[in-house]
């Protein structure tokens, strides 16, 4: 077994363990393999080991990779911040966008989503740390933005995503995950048909799943560490 295949299996075991501890069904959280900075060979190896959903953060890097891997049936997720001049390629090539934080970007994606494709799945990125430098809307803006996005015909709003601030403290990300889960519960209680919590990464996927994650975004635990300066 190759290194990536073994690492994928270890991630699946961690996910299953967390689902079972949380008394959630096996497979309760999907594994999104975050392949940013990694080669198409690495992605092929993961695909051969049964992985189909991949996440990329940088459009210039992602487009040639998507092209080189067009022979495979992969589901591509755009997880990075998105500028308005980049929306068309994302609308045309990706199945999911995780980090929507502006209505204007969402409107462009909806307008640019080809009619030949199913609606684009999107999540709203929520910034729960209150740091102004971070992407994402504040918790108080999440539901108003969600209501606006539900009106866009070529998008399918699925739920919320968060990226907790770096901290040496395990309790902090868990508190953020719990807040995001409460936000989803509130949206659903207001009648929004949302089903997704995109939260948890290599080091904290168990806590995220125990708090209700339905998608964990995992890079280094599958592919190894990224070159310095390439994180984010
Ligand atoms: C890079 C990245 C990840 C993966 O992080 P790892 O620590 O490598 O698992 C997850 N989510 C986002 C938004 C990322 O940019």
For residue 191, the CA-to-ligand 1 centroid distance in Å is 31
Q: What is the pTM of this model?
A: 0.96
Ligand 1 atom nearest to 34, measured from its CA? 4
Classify the C-alpha dihedral 228-84-88-99 as positive or negative. Answer: positive
Three-state secondary structure of 198-224: ECCCCCCHHHHHHCCCCEEEECHHHHC
Ligand 1 atom nearest to 226, measured from its CA? 8
Residue 197 to residue 123: CA distance in whole angstroms: 8
Ligand 1 atom nearest to 79, measured from its CA? 13
C-alpha to C-alpha distances, 21 to 10, 25, 172, 186, 195, nearest whole angstrom: 16, 10, 20, 24, 21
pLDDT digits 0-9 by tens, 108-142: 999 999 999 999 999 999 999 877 667 999 999 99
Residue 42 to residue 217: CA distance in whole angstroms: 16
Q: Could you tell which of 10, 15, 55, 127 is best to mutate to test the pocket of ligand 1, judged by most ligand atoms within 8 Å of the CB?
A: 55
Q: In the block, which residue shows the tokens 């910034």? A: 127
> Domains plus CATH for the chain?
3-223 (3.20.20.10)
Any idea what DSSP says for residue 149? H
Which residue, judged by its Cα, is nearest atom 14 of ligand 1?
232
pLDDT digits 0-9 by tens, 56-72: 999 999 999 999 999 99
Residue 94 to residue 122: CA distance in whole angstroms: 10
Question: What's residue 131's pLDDT?
Answer: 73
Question: What's residue 232's pLDDT?
Answer: 45
Which residue, judged by its Cα, is nearest atom 7 of ligand 1?
202
pLDDT digits 0-9 by tens, 136-167: 999 999 999 999 999 999 999 999 999 988 88
Q: CA angle, 96 as apex, 95 and 100 as ends, to 5°?
A: 145
As given in the structure block, the two tokens for residue 215 are 């998608």
């Amino acid at each position: 077994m190759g290194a990536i295949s073994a690492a994928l299996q270890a991630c699946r075991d961690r996910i299953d363990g967390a689902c079972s501890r949380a008394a959630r069904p096996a497979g309760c959280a999907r594994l999104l393999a975050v392949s940013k900075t990694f080669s198409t060979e690495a992605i092929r190896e993961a695909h051969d080991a049964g992985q189909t959903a991949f996440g990329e953060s940088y459009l210039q890097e992602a487009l040639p990779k998507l092209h080189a891997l067009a022979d495979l049936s992969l589901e591509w997720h755009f997880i990075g911040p998105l500028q308005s001049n980049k929306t068309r390629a994302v609308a045309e090539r990706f199945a999911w966008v995780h980090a929507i934080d502006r209505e204007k970007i969402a409107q462009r994606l909806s307008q640019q989503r080809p009619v030949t494709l199913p609606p684009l799945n999107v999540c709203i990125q929520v910034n729960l740390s209150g740091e102004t430098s971070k992407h994402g809307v504040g918790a108080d803006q999440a539901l108003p933005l969600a209501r606006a996005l539900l009106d866009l015909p070529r998008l399918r709003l699925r739920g919320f995503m968060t990226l907790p601030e770096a901290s040496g403290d395990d309790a902090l990300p868990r508190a953020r995950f719990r807040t995001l889960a409460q936000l989803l519960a509130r949206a659903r209680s207001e009648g929004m048909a949302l089903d997704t919590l995109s939260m948890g990464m290599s080091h904290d996927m168990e806590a995220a799943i125990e708090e209700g994650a339905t998608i964990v975004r995992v890079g280094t635990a599958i592919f190894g560490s990224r070159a310095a300066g390439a994180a984010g």
